[in-house]
Amino acid sequence: MAKGIQTRHVCRECGYETPKWLGKCPGCDQWGTLEESITITPSKTAISRSNGAASLGLVTRAQPTRLTDVPSVALEGRMSAGLSEFDRVLGGGIVPGALILVGGDPGIGKSTLLTQAAGFLAASGGTVLYVSGEESATQIKLRAERLGVASPNILLHNEVDVTLIASTIASERPSVVIIDSIQTMQHPEVDSAAGSVSQVRSCTAMLAQAAKGHGIPIFLVGHVTKEGALAGPRVLEHMVDTVLTFEGDRHYAYRVLRAVKNRFGSTDELGLFEMREEGLAQVANPSEMFLSERSERVTGSCVSPIVEGTRPLLVEVQALVAPSYLASPRRTFSGVDTNRVNLILAVLEKRAGLGLAKYDVFVNVAGGVRVDEPSADLAIAVATASNFREIAVNEHTVVAGEVGLGGEVRAVGHMEQRLREAGRMGFKRAIVSARSLAGLSRARLGIEVIGVDNVHQAIEKAFRS
């Protein structure tokens, strides 16, 4: 088939295409995101022949299927990855035919996680095809030996040609396929370097077709940019079914697995792992992990029960308030939304009488976890007031509630789950919104629940013994 070559420029953020290079993308208004892409299109002769074949009835089309005739995939029909934390983030297990993208910083443990999952799937009787464009078979074998993975059902394939990989998937029909990584794959009909917008998009499209056509789940390992975003075109995230991010500091042992996108489950679930010499170990009690190094009777520390998906967790919110010698005091926050904390600081100044305008304020969530829900608002306010007044929060107290602009404390959901987890960890008191008291069976929770209406009341009650 005769083909024509076209040079276009594609935005790696939104996929906008233009024949000329532009400094600013008209689609998403981002600067410097247009990259050159070479596409190959069929010639007019090939198109006319294709149309002629269609007119002669030589081209078959897929027929529409009634929704009621499509078989359902029950939770029991999913495959387990052998790690309950991994299964939790996936929504209960691996769905047949799913295309799953796993991203994370270099050396964070992406290949380790997938190798351990491959070992369990192979030991359960399935066949795993591990395709690597970055490592040799010997290097993969060394990692597998370190992790205690040894199974003849794991097939290693060093290949970067996506058409040959798709052919191998069709012939071998494995239970699961792992591609490490999508940025190293190449489509022979796309005349551009591996990792470019065109290559990543074309390779992902072919692998998606293989996953859906054969009902085989495929894991794609993705690189990340220096800003922490997934490398390649933003359209890559739209093409896959699930996007997982593996987070954590390489200098610390704990890792967090999150679902940024999930067509088969919730995106609020959280998986926690500890990196050890023998591989990733699941954290059975994350609340104990986050509070293991907490110091008692230290100002600027407050514990808050949060809910990630269906799991309640206890996290320590730390705040440091120090006199500023700068014209504009510093505001540095880690693990929380910057705009949200600035709002809470303004409420403390206006509604609680704390003069923070001339002070540097630092807020941190211990353990490397990120808190996005508003239930930690009250803990941020109490921890900041504690360090500002140099009065420690009662060590047996947890705090949960959303803070409004009027200084009021609003109710948050799943309160019984939060308080039950706090009681299990040995806490005796909880300060929550007064509106959360309705319907709570306090005797069954085994913890004293104190209702407050505003931030000022919460601060005063948190300091009492």
Residue 60 lies in a domain: no
> What digits encode the pLDDT tens for the residues 429-461?
999 999 998 877 765 677 899 999 999 999 999
Handedness of CA 102, 105, 106, 108 (dihedral sign): negative
Give the angle subtended at the CA of 232 by the CAs of 228 and 236, to the nearest 5°.
105
Q: Is 195 annotated as a binding residue?
A: no
Q: How far apart are CA 323 and CA 358, in angstroms?
A: 6
Q: Is the alpha carbon torsion for 212, 89, 127, 221 positive or negative? A: positive
Contact between residue 401 and residue 409 where contact means Cβ atoms under 8 Å apart = yes
Residue 267 confidence class, pLDDT cut points 50, 70, 90 = confident
Structure tokens at 159: 């290949």
Do 425 and 297 belong to one domain? yes
- Over residues 408-437, the pLDDT tens digits come to 999 999 999 999 999 999 999 999 999 998
Is 106 annotated in a binding site? The answer is yes
| Residue 465 annotated as binding site | no
Claim to verify: residue 278 and residue 411 sit in the same structural domain? no
Q: Is residue 39 part of a domain?
A: yes
Last residue of a domain, one of 250, 284, 318: 284
- Residue 43 belongs to a domain: yes
**Separation between Cα atoms, residue 203 and residue 281, nearest integer Å:** 33
- Name the token pair of 97: 């035919």
Domain co-membership, 172 together with 117: yes
Task: Establish if 194 belongs to a structural domain.
Answer: yes
Selection from 380, 376, 443, 382 nearest residue 416 by Cα: 443
Domain membership flag for residue 159: yes
Are 324 and 339 members of one domain? yes
Preceding peptide of 50 cis, ω within 30°: no
Distance of CA 222 to the CA centre of its chain: 13
Are 336 and 454 contained in the same domain?
Answer: yes
CATH number at residue 376: 3.30.230.10
Cβ(423)–Cβ(446) below 8 Å:
yes
Spatial contact of 180 and 114, defined as CB atoms under 8 Å apart: yes
Of the two residues 64 and 408, the one the predictor is more confident about is: 408
What does residue 381 show for φ and ψ, rounded to 5 degrees? -65, -45
Rounded to whole angstroms, the Cα distance separating 407 from 417 reads 25
Q: Are 176 and 132 in contact (CB under 8 A)?
A: no
Asked if residue 404 is part of any domain, the answer here is yes
- 337 with 457, same domain: the answer is yes
Burial letters for 114-130: b for 16+ Cβ neighbours within 10 Å, e otherwise?
bbbbbbbbbeeebbbbb
Whether residue 409 is found in the same domain as residue 424: yes
Q: Starting from the edge strand earliest in sequence, which strands make up the sheet with 311-323, in order?
A: 331-334, 359-365, 311-323, 301-308, 397-399, 429-433, 448-452
Scored b (16 or more CB within 10 A) or e, 375-411 reads bbbbbbbbbbbbbbeeebbbebbbbbbbbbeebbbbb
Answer yes or no: is pLDDT of 43 > 60.
Answer: no
Same domain, 307 and 423: yes
Asked if 330 and 452 sit in the same domain, the reply is: yes
pLDDT bin (cut points 50, 70, 90) of residue 53 is very low
* Residue 323 counted as domain residue: yes
Q: Which of 252, 284, 316 is the last residue of a domain?
A: 284
pLDDT at 111: 93
Residues 174 and 233 occupy one common structural domain: yes
Structure confidence by residue, pLDDT tens digits, 306-328: 998 778 999 999 999 999 999 99
Strand 3-11 to 34-42 pairing: antiparallel
The residue among 284, 319, 349 that closes a domain is 284
The β-bridge relationship of strands 402-403 and 409-410 is: antiparallel
Total tally of structural domains belonging to the chain: 3
Q: How far apart are CA 24 and CA 90, in angstroms?
A: 37
Q: Residue 331 in contact with residue 361, Cβ under 8 Å?
A: yes
**Confidence band of 18 (pLDDT split at 50, 70, 90):** confident
Show the domain range for 300. Answer: 289-462
Q: How many residues does the chain have?
A: 465
Same-domain pairing of 371 and 341: yes
CATH number for the domain that contains residue 244? 3.40.50.300
Is 107 assigned to a binding site?
yes
Asked if 4 and 30 touch (Cβ cutoff 8 Å), the reply is no
pLDDT, tens digit, 9 for 90 and up, residues 104-151: 888 889 999 999 999 999 999 999 999 999 899 999 999 999 999 999
What is the number of other CB atoms lying within 10 angstroms of the CB of residue 273?
A: 24
Do 443 and 312 have their domain in common?
Answer: yes
Spatial separation of the C-alpha atoms in residues 424 and 190, rounded to whole Å:
58
**pLDDT at residue 165 in the model:** 96
User: Does 67 fall in a domain?
Assistant: no
Q: Decide if pLDDT at 46 tops 70.
A: no
pLDDT over 90 (residue 379): yes
